[in-house]
Structure 1
């Protein structure tokens, strides 16, 4: 039997209050409350300003659903709430993947907030200017919105056109170009910051307008799905300060479990056995949050590492007054200190290599080196470690040491003489009569 929706709501809000990030606590509390209000019948709604705001779609999470839709989706929505509760519990237990995904949702790398930030990025730089139809809208005879973000096609080669982002959306153009240059993405990378489309089709005829419009639509849909929109500057700077340790992280202590003032009386043996049988017949599979025996403690050090990971996928836009253009600033592993690689080390560990850790060419040209025994060996061809025998530790004048050297030299000379004296196999003759004559001459 599933718990009532109010119990699930309280459990979700309780787990939300334990998240180790202040922005995550505010975001998920607002998200959970609005999701429950969207699936609450209007007759059960409280007469508050937030309840009326749901009817007017002011929260961005969708308006209140119809009663028929609520009844149809009730079971699936309750399962989603239970799944989200287990995920929040695993994040509060210190699971790395769950906690990272919570931060990705909070800072708009995935989920609902990503498209809210993307909607701000898709607005023109000058909102007061009257936007006329773009060159691509005029060329393709369409008023679709995705065509308004592009300039007119320019011929890049005898067979291809290039379609770039319009200068009216310089923030979008700067963010897209910076992400492509830095090769940053959560999934597949964005290959180009502009469209490369052929002039003619496979039959050598001019590209049809409908086909050209579909090429632009497909590129726009794939690129906007993989694009990581920039964060507000104050939010990016706060996360950067927490990653560097310049700002305290707002961790929350978990509340202690309540103490039963009136403990339940012990059941008689017959009722105790009946309760045991009922609990065994439920057959509820424990969740991953319940199976966590040793939860990881979430401290400031762990959160700084999490912020460094999230910052590598975040950026902000800054206006350069000198060059009159937007600049995209990405957070790349800034949690480390600048003097991290300048620590003291032993010189003999890195002797004989350059700054990149490679051997110089003069050392690589030395092919023959002298072994401790005085023999010249080809060390470049040795693939395995040579284990010395007991004869190598004897003094040079010892007879066993001298005999071992003599045998080694004899073996080398013999192998070289055998290699030089082995006759070469005759080449196969093309004529059958020649082969028969050669075979008869051998007898």
Structure 2
């Protein structure tokens, strides 16, 4: 019996592709975060990885599908598709995904020694749980901001203040179960929608990229090797798929690629900045103050007119006072 042919290591190709696409991202924070995230993910899932994923358990299939999905998002982001590029920025700055939970963990689990890879935040409402003052200030500020600037925070679940269930119409009694259900729903909305602050250095980098004070340069891509093309018309692709079709717009149904420039990146950075808070504690009162990154809007420029010339020229000098017609310029 002849031995089985060696299997192709799928994971190695996907891993190299993820690291390669992470190094081409047009944001410095995204490049560093995505590279670390890929390495950490492969290390944590290493006991479940096998040489050939199709012979593994059912969970192996979903792990590989997640890796290939992330590779697709990174590839389309580097090609200039705006939605994948915005999603990568949101993931990198902790507005979505795992890093948002990691940044919010000190607010839910104070004095935690380390951040686990899974189950970062308690998914169930702890008994007798009350938010710490920093989290309470952030919840109130985010609830107010989402009410006034909802268009800048599209896709973020709505966060409201602590609910107070109404009592019945007879004696105003509120059952304990009703209170627990309201608190559980409120806690779930906080876990799903809270936007924690990022480290100060990353915020300064993001603000500098938006305002233009931070230097930026697009990473250079490595040149691909030339493919061996055959001039034979009866190749395998022609025999299987038939003649090649002409130019179609099928690949642009969900957006089109753009040439990544600073002009393209600035609105995306601006949107991330608008959903990124900063928190500081007042030394005198001990209260927490929350400020949000405001979009950078250039002030409109108006032309100035000489005051003496404006006094000498009347607005109606070019109009005939008898019939109201425009006078023709003379000379």
Residues of 1 paired with 2:55 and 2:168: CA distance?
A: 46
Moved more, 323-332 or 109-118: 323-332
Aligned to 2:236: 275
Matches within 5 A, 1:286-305: 295-305=257-267
Matches within 5 A, 1:205-224: 206-224=173-191
Q: What runs of 5+ residues in structure 1 fail to find an aligned partner?
A: 46-66, 128-142, 150-164, 348-371, 375-391, 393-443
Pairing partner for 1:344 from 284, 303, 324: 303
Aligned to 2:144: 181
Residues of 2 paired with 1:242 and 1:211: CA distance?
A: 48
Residue-pair matches, total: 283
Deviation, structure 1 residue 113: 0.7
Aligned to 1:112: 98
* Cα distance, 1:43–1:298 mapped onto 2, change above 3 Å: closer
TM-score (normalizing by structure 2)? 0.71
Residues of 2 paired with 1:206 and 1:273: CA distance?
A: 82
Residues of 2 paired with 1:42 and 1:89: CA distance?
A: 25
TM-score (normalizing by structure 1)? 0.54
Q: What runs of 5+ residues in structure 2 fail to find an aligned partner?
A: 1-6, 113-123, 243-247, 307-321, 326-331
What CA RMSD, in Å, does the superposition of the two structures yield over aligned residues? 3.9
Deviation, structure 1 residue 5: 2.2
* Cα distance, 1:346–1:72 mapped onto 2, change above 3 Å: farther
Deviation, structure 1 residue 98: 1.2
Q: Is the CA contact (8 Å cut-off) linking 1:100 and 1:306 kept in structure 2? A: yes
Pairing partner for 2:279 from 305, 311, 317: 317
* SS of equivalent to 2:144: helix
Q: Is the CA contact (8 Å cut-off) linking 2:29 and 2:202 kept in structure 1? A: no
Greater RCO, 1 or 2 (C-alpha within 8 Å, sep 6+): 2
Aligned to 1:148: 129
For residues 343-395 of structure 1, give each alpha carbon's deviation from its aligned partner in whole angstroms, at most 9, with x where no partner exists: 33789xxxxxxxxxxxxxxxxxxxxxxxx989xxxxxxxxxxxxxxxxx9xxx
Moved more, 187-196 or 242-251: 187-196
Matches within 5 A, 1:130-209: 145=126, 147-149=128-130, 165=131, 169-183=132-146, 185-187=153-155, 190=158, 192-198=160-166, 200-201=167-168, 204=171, 206-209=173-176
* Cα distance, 1:189–1:290 mapped onto 2, change above 3 Å: closer
Deviation, structure 1 residue 79: 3.0
Deviation, structure 1 residue 81: 2.7
Q: Is the CA contact (8 Å cut-off) linking 2:159 and 2:193 kept in structure 1? A: no
* SS of equivalent to 2:129: helix
Deviation, structure 1 residue 239: 0.8
Choose 1 or 2 for highest CA Rg. Answer: 1
